[in-house]
Amino acid sequence: MDKNSGQKRAVHYLYPPVEPFDQRMLDVGDGHSIYVEQSGNPSGLPVVVVHGGPGGGSSPAMRRYFDPNVYRVILFDQRGCGHSRPHAEVKNNTSWHLVADMDRIRTTLDVTEWIVFGGSWGATLSLLYAQSYPAQTVCLVLRGVFLMTQSELDWFYGGGAGHFWPEPWARFAELVPFEERGDLIEAYHRRLFCGDRATEIKFARAWASWENALASVYSNGHGGEAPAEYARAFSRLENHYFRNKGFLNQDGHILANMDVLKDIPGYIVQGRYDMICPPKAAHDLVSTWGKMADLRIIRNAGHALSEPGISAELVRIMDDLARI
């Protein structure tokens, strides 16, 4: 889960735009090639930025949360989205493929260890990576925590968030017949993968619009209409992952494995009024993590990376880490 609404409001907290010094396509096997870029200081502190979705893709604005004189900033597009190819492909595309891809990026770029920075689904994947490769993880900086649990999916796709936003919820739910609304993830799956491109794009835009409508605390409830190919990749990938419960071996997998991270610092930035990933997940994560976790609740903020308070706090954390 992730959207980037209202970016201009937060722009003055960020570093100036910076261009990559390295861009490449990395063949990760299974028929997939992923886009990887580096910006900032080639000899700086490595930080890998993990985008949301799944399927959200990286963006140039993500480079700007880091002092380019201090950090070696590594962005990548996860399988099936952004510049990665094949586009919108779900075959050989699971959480564990993405975890392995991240470590392949690390070894390809000759990075010994790095800071892992991710929000929303990017927080999920960051935690899964760190639990798999704790020795390679210096610390985690997370935003808008999503733990890939059934209760979180029920909240967002089962009507919980719809109690706060009934108008966009009605637009999302009423696009499918009444008898299918008991499982909207499955109902949308049938249409997002039906093979008719026009139908797939119609339902992809509706899926993306429901999420985008709730991303910012300043939302008016209208999620807009995403470009067709972006919406199709974003929605197919999210639906694929959520339908398969993130390909995790149990509900609550991340919290059940937090002992692996008990000695690794974590900084969590969470919007108080996050309607997509409510603060309970961040609270549960910190409670399980223990003394190494630092939770920072941002009042008057929702889910989006670009919320002003969230952007300001993330930059502050990265600046503080640069001085350690």
Digit-coded pLDDT (tens) for 107-140: 999 999 999 999 999 999 999 999 999 999 999 9
Annotated catalytic residue 274? yes
> How far apart, in whole angstroms, are the C-alpha atoms of residue 40 and residue 18?
7
Q: What is the pTM for the complete model shown?
A: 0.96
The terminus-to-terminus CA distance of the chain in angstroms comes to: 31
Res. 9: pLDDT tops 70: no
Residue 76 region, left (φ>0) first, then alpha (ψ -120 to 50), else beta? beta
Catalytic residue among 126, 216, 274, 311: 274
Which of the pair, 266 or 7, is modelled with greater confidence? Answer: 266
Helix (H) / strand (E) containing 115: strand 114-119
> How far apart, in whole angstroms, are the C-alpha atoms of residue 81 and residue 87?
6
Digit-coded pLDDT (tens) for 173-212: 999 999 999 999 999 999 999 999 999 999 999 999 999 9
Mean pLDDT of the chain: 96
> How far apart, in whole angstroms, are the C-alpha atoms of residue 212 and residue 202?
15
* Structural domain includes residue 80: yes
Whether residues 162 and 116 share a domain: the answer is: no
pLDDT > 90: percent of the chain: 95
Q: What is the DSSP letter of 185?
A: H
Digit-coded pLDDT (tens) for 216-254: 999 999 998 999 999 999 999 999 999 999 999 999 999
Whether residues 263 and 231 share a domain: the answer is: no
Which of the pair, 8 or 152, is modelled with greater confidence? Answer: 152
Annotated catalytic residue 120? yes
* Structural domain includes residue 1: no
Residue 202: count of CB within 10 angstroms of its CB: 16
Digit-coded pLDDT (tens) for 259-283: 999 999 999 999 999 999 999 999 9
Whether residues 159 and 178 share a domain: the answer is: yes
Res. 301: pLDDT tops 50: yes
Average pLDDT over residues 22-45: 98
Annotated catalytic residue 103? no
Whether residues 68 and 199 share a domain: the answer is: no
The token pair that represents 269 in the structure block: 């930035």
Whether residues 293 and 170 share a domain: the answer is: no
Report the CATH number at residue 284.
Answer: 3.40.50.1820
Res. 151: pLDDT tops 60: yes
- Sort strands 266-271 and 293-298 into parallel, antiparallel or unpaired: parallel
Percent of the chain that is helix, strand, coil (3-state, to 5)? 45, 15, 40
Last residue of a domain, one of 246, 272, 291: 246
- Residue 28: what residue type? V
**Confidence class of residue 39 from pLDDT cuts 50, 70 and 90?**
very high
* Structural domain includes residue 85: yes
Domain that holds residue 170: 151-246
Catalytic residue among 5, 58, 120, 306: 120
Side-chain-side CA neighbours of 245 within 13 Å: the count stands at 10
Number of domains the chain is built from: 2
Last residue of a domain, one of 227, 246, 265: 246
Last residue of a domain, one of 246, 261, 283: 246
